[in-house]
């Protein structure tokens, strides 16, 4: 028999930022949540952030609940040329979507003796892509995706970390 204990948490953050160097215009939209031991952590939650300025834009979205995180971020900002033909960056944009969850799982039941080996399965999938500049010259592009799992036996304090 598996049962969820009382300790669980869902945290999420979505931020979209766009800056235009010419007019010193900056637009930032950010949202976060922290649900420690609240029933809403077990329901699907969404965060969305969007920003646009000076021809550029950014988006960050996250769907999350205990056991599931889906994140998406994109950013674009056109680059062009000055009168001498040099590549000029007139601004920049970035999108960030982060989420994490923590869940304590208690294993017990009739006939399950102390010390019985229990198998815990965790599936992690990271998909992603990065575009390449099309009309932009020398666009600065990057994308990062990280998944980490830490399993701790609260009796023996043995732990395993996977990243």
Q: Exposed, middle or buried by CB within 10 Å (0-12, 13-18, 19+), for 41?
A: buried
Q: Which residue, chain included where needed, has tokens 């969820």?
A: 4
Q: How many CB atoms lie within 10 A of CB 110?
A: 5
Q: Which residue, among 98, 78, 87, 135, has the nearest Cα to 15 in the 3D structure? A: 98
Q: For the chain, how far is it from start to end, CA to CA, in angstroms?
A: 28
Q: How many CA atoms lie within 13 Å of 141's alpha carbon, on the beta-carbon side?
A: 14
Q: Is the pLDDT reported for residue 11 higher than 90? A: yes
CA distance linking residue 12 with residue 50, whole number of Å: 16
Q: Is the pLDDT reported for residue 59 higher than 90? A: yes
Q: Are 61 and 47 in contact (CB under 8 A)?
A: yes
CA distance linking residue 139 with residue 161, whole number of Å: 36
CA distance linking residue 68 with residue 129, whole number of Å: 20
Q: Which residue, among 89, 26, 31, has the nearest Cα to 52 in the 3D structure? A: 26
127: Cβ contacts below 8 Å, ≥ 6 apart: none
Specify the higher pLDDT residue, 117 or 158: 158
Q: How many CA atoms lie within 13 Å of 22's alpha carbon, on the beta-carbon side?
A: 9
Q: What is the pLDDT of residue 137?
A: 44
Tell me: the pLDDT tens digits for 79-120? 777 778 777 777 888 899 999 988 887 777 777 777 777 777
Q: What is the pLDDT of residue 41?
A: 92
């Amino acid at each position: 028999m598996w049962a969820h204990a009382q300790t669980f948490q869902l945290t999420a953050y979505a931020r979209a930022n766009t800056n235009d160097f010419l007019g010193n215009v900056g637009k930032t939209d950010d949202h976060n949540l922290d649900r420690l031991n609240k029933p809403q952590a077990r329901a699907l939650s969404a965060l969305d952030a969007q920003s646009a300025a000076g021809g550029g834009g950014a988006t960050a979205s996250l769907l999350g609940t205990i056991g599931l995180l889906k994140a998406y971020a994109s950013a674009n900002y056109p680059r062009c040329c000055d009168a001498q033909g040099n590549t000029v960056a007139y601004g920049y944009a970035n999108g960030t979507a982060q989420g994490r969850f923590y869940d304590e799982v208690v294993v017990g039941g009739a006939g399950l003796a102390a010390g019985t080996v229990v198998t815990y399965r965790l599936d992690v999938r990271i998909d992603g892509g990065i575009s390449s500049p099309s009309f932009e010259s020398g666009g600065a592009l990057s994308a990062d995706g990280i998944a980490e799992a830490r399993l701790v036996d609260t009796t023996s304090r043995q732990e395993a970390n996977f990243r």
